[in-house]
Amino acid sequence: MLSRRHVLGLGIGALSVPLLRTARAAGPGSELHGLSVFGDLKYSADFHHFDYVNPDAPKGGMFSLIPSARAYNQSFFTFNSLNAYILKGEGAQGMDTTFAALMARAGDEPDAMYGLVAKSVQISPDKLTYRFTLRPEARFHDGSKVTAHDAAFSLNTLKAKGHPLIVVQLRDMLNAEAPDDATLVVTFAEKRARDVPLYVASLPIFSQAYYSTRPFDESTLDAPLGSGPYKVGKFEVNRFIEFDRVKDWWAADLPVNRGSYNFDIVRYEFYRDRDVAFEGFTSRNYLFREEFTARIWATRYDFPAVKDGRVKLEMLPDETPSGGQGWFINTRRDKFKDPRVREALIYAFDFEWTNKTVMYGAYARTRSPFQNSDMVAEGPPSAEELKLLEPFRGQVPEEVFGEPFVPPVSDGSGQDRTLLRKAQQLLQDAGLAIKDGKRRLPNGEVLTIEFLLDEPSFQPHHATFIKNLALLGIDASIRLIDAVQYRARVEDFDFDITTERLSMSATPGDSLRPYFSSQAAATKGSYNLAGVASPAIDAMIEKAIAAETRPDLTFACRALDRLFRAGRYWVPQWYRTTHPIAYWDEFSHPQKPPRYAQGVGAPDIWWRDAAKAAKLEQTK
């Protein structure tokens, strides 16, 4: 696989880091046209459009795809609800495009946002009160005005009834209120998370009037009233959903939107099987595909439409951090409490063989949840990291104060005897002896492991791993279930080991809590799949949140990285720094995707190329 499509999005952007100093936001109390964590903005108040878009891109046509990322209650394989911001149901992909938010992200800055529904914001000197001024022209799709009362209702409702991940990230938002139609006042707790105001500015605005007659926290197939660039169009549950462009959208000519949302229809197709989905693409059942399976990319893109040029293949750069992908070990279960048992599992996985044999050598080994960023811990801790870690000496593994843990490199045979002997010794040291050919826990029970999966294409990556576990006396097996069951079990933490990938933000802060905090470990539906509950890690999260400069943030994240890796909470997998994409040749797109945006900008900043489309029709 290229990268597991279970992308766990944390925060508002993608990690990395040079400070941008083209424009400096004014100080507290001033009218600001944009926000960023450390106050640096690339674009001035009078900017016309983002540099990475084509402001003259034509409108029209259809763009169709299969899901490649998910958020909150969404699934890659199905949907049964048009409410994508609660825990119940499987939310439809694309629902975010039906809503507008206070501000919109800039894809070429680490964390900057600029006015959408809000034309400006004032920040109090103590940075605990944000006063947004809304645009008078903002409208819902029924023509009614979007007011500050709607925005306040939305934020308070999401904090009380939204998906648990939203609730966690809004912990430091105390209240949102509207003294009048044009003014939204949001107050935050002292020592608030640094990125919470930006998260607040990114959330959808719902119609208070619409929800006055219906419950917010119910799964439903009624299309909610929105104010975004698209409306829900035709759909068939579990099969497809279309979104129709709002031709007279009130925000179409704002600087944050010029050159974006160019297709008249955006359609998501849903398949339960990835191989079937590939065949659907070759038959032109949908038009764009980001390839997540190395085997398919290496061996199956030789069908006639590729050979004759009707389908284009590209490898676009991915300069965002890859985040962390791995087999997450559920430490809530007694059999995985001992970190030596978890480390033994790391030694049993032969990445080199799997990469060579199953993934055509396309990947590098993941070491850190901050992979592909400068927040990865390297070498001994710096003085700044030691200052953060020293209070926990004696409470955390001593290796935290030395070189960080790095997964072993095998001989590529699939059965590296040296590594398996190391794994065996770790299990012995943890009190798991062999009896009757089975590895037994100290209580005498056989150590069994079930790998929970929701798609068959990932099974080959487990095969040699399971074989090596058997050599260690461990009974391991795969449980393949459908997407709905899978999500329910994962949200209930009802698994031994499962695969996930998390995607970090450009400026992580409060967004770290859902994945690493003790609070999240006990929160149903959180991203803390491994059950990480460490006072030291909690403290590093708070240090990251409190950081007032990017270097301070970087040191805190490196310290967190050392603690996480020392805990052996996962078996790290792999990552790639390119996006292999294929599409039927009727589109054009910016030459290079914006550095800090997730994905390749499709469909948001792509457009239909009439000349290409006409030529494609002639070659059918």
Tell me what the pLDDT averaged over the chain comes to: 92
Any idea which of 18-32, 109-123, 304-318 has the lowest mean pLDDT? 18-32
- SS3 call for 324: strand
What pLDDT, in 10s, does the model give residues 61-114? 999 999 988 899 999 999 999 999 999 999 999 999 999 999 999 999 989 999
Higher pLDDT, residue 11 or 101: 101
Neighbouring residues of 265: CB distance < 8 A, sequence distance ≥ 6: 61, 62, 63, 233, 242, 243, 244, 245
pLDDT for residue 496 is more than 90: yes
Number of Cβ atoms within 10 Å of the Cβ of 106? 26
Give the model's pLDDT for residue 295: 85
Q: Which two tokens stand for residue 311?
A: 């389908």
CA contacts within 13 A on the Cβ side of 596: 24
Higher pLDDT, residue 285 or 595: 285
Give the model's pLDDT for residue 455: 84
| Confidence band of 620 (pLDDT split at 50, 70, 90) | low
Number of Cβ atoms within 10 Å of the Cβ of 444? 8
User: Domain coordinates of the chain in residue numbers?
Assistant: 31-271+579-612, 324-346+361-396+420-570
pLDDT for residue 51 is more than 80: yes
Q: Which two tokens stand for residue 381?
A: 């801790």
Cα-Cα-Cα-Cα dihedral of 81, 84, 89, 92, to 10°?
A: 50
pLDDT for residue 287 is more than 60: yes
Label each residue of 79-129 as H, E or C.
CCECCCCCCCCCECCCHHHHCCECEEECCCCCCCEEECCEEEEEECCCCCE
Long-range contacts of 251-254 (CB under 8 A, 24+ apart): 251/100, 251/116, 251/117, 251/138, 254/115, 254/116
Give the model's pLDDT for residue 502: 84
Give the model's pLDDT for residue 29: 65
What pLDDT, in 10s, does the model give residues 584-615? 999 999 988 898 887 789 999 999 999 999 98
User: What average pLDDT does range 482-497 have in this prediction?
Assistant: 94
pTM assigned to the model: 0.76
Q: Which two tokens stand for residue 390?
A: 């020293």
Element containing residue 129 per DSSP (H, E): strand 129-134
- SS3 call for 237: coil
Highest mean pLDDT among 176-180, 368-372, 510-514: 176-180
Give the model's pLDDT for residue 604: 97
Instruction: Name the percent of the chain in helix, strand, coil, to the closest 5.
Output: 30, 20, 50
Angle at 514 between CA 510 and CA 518, to 5 degrees: 100
Higher pLDDT, residue 578 or 47: 47
Q: Helices in 492-549 by DSSP H: which ranges?
A: 513-516, 518-521, 535-546
Q: Which two tokens stand for residue 25?
A: 């936001």
Q: Which of 158, 107, 102 lies closest to 131, judged by CA?
A: 102
Give the model's pLDDT for residue 193: 77
CA contacts within 13 A on the Cβ side of 153: 15
User: What average pLDDT does range 205-220 have in this prediction?
Assistant: 97
Strands 265-269 and 62-65: parallel
| Confidence band of 9 (pLDDT split at 50, 70, 90) | very low
Distance CA 321, CA 317 (A): 12
Distance CA 397, CA 238 (A): 47
What pLDDT, in 10s, does the model give residues 526-555? 999 999 999 999 999 999 988 888 899 999
Give the model's pLDDT for residue 187: 98
| Confidence band of 27 (pLDDT split at 50, 70, 90) | low
pLDDT for residue 6 is more than 50: no
DSSP state of 221: S
Element containing residue 107 per DSSP (H, E): none
Which residue do the tokens 């083209």 mark?
Answer: 22
Give the model's pLDDT for residue 504: 78
Provide the percentage of residues in the chain whose pLDDT is more than 90.
Answer: 80
| Confidence band of 566 (pLDDT split at 50, 70, 90) | very high
User: What average pLDDT does range 309-334 have in this prediction?
Assistant: 91
User: What average pLDDT does range 355-377 have in this prediction?
Assistant: 92
Distance CA 601, CA 605 (A): 6
Distance CA 121, CA 125 (A): 13
Neighbouring residues of 247: CB distance < 8 A, sequence distance ≥ 6: none
Ordered strands of the 118-123 beta sheet: 118-123, 129-134, 183-188, 173-180
Give the model's pLDDT for residue 168: 86
Give the model's pLDDT for residue 18: 28
Q: Helices in 430-482 by DSSP H: which ranges?
A: 460-471
Strands 475-480 and 448-453: parallel
Which residue do the tokens 């990319």 mark?
Answer: 297
Note if the bond before 603 is cis, omega within 30 degrees: yes
Give the model's pLDDT for residue 158: 98
Assigned CATH topology for domain 31-271+579-612: D-Maltodextrin-Binding Protein; domain 2 (3.40.190)
Residue 499: C-alpha distances to residues 343, 451, 463, 574 (Å):
17, 8, 14, 11
pLDDT for residue 10 is more than 80: no
* Superfamily designation of domain 324-346+361-396+420-570: Dipeptide-binding Protein; Domain 3 (3.10.105.10)
Neighbouring residues of 163: CB distance < 8 A, sequence distance ≥ 6: 72, 73, 85, 86, 87, 525
Number of Cβ atoms within 10 Å of the Cβ of 104? 23
Which residue do the tokens 């579990």 mark?
Answer: 238
Distance CA 409, CA 99 (A): 47
pLDDT for residue 510 is more than 60: yes
Higher pLDDT, residue 433 or 293: 433
Q: Which of 564, 568, 589 lies closest to 579, judged by CA?
A: 589
pLDDT for residue 248 is more than 90: yes
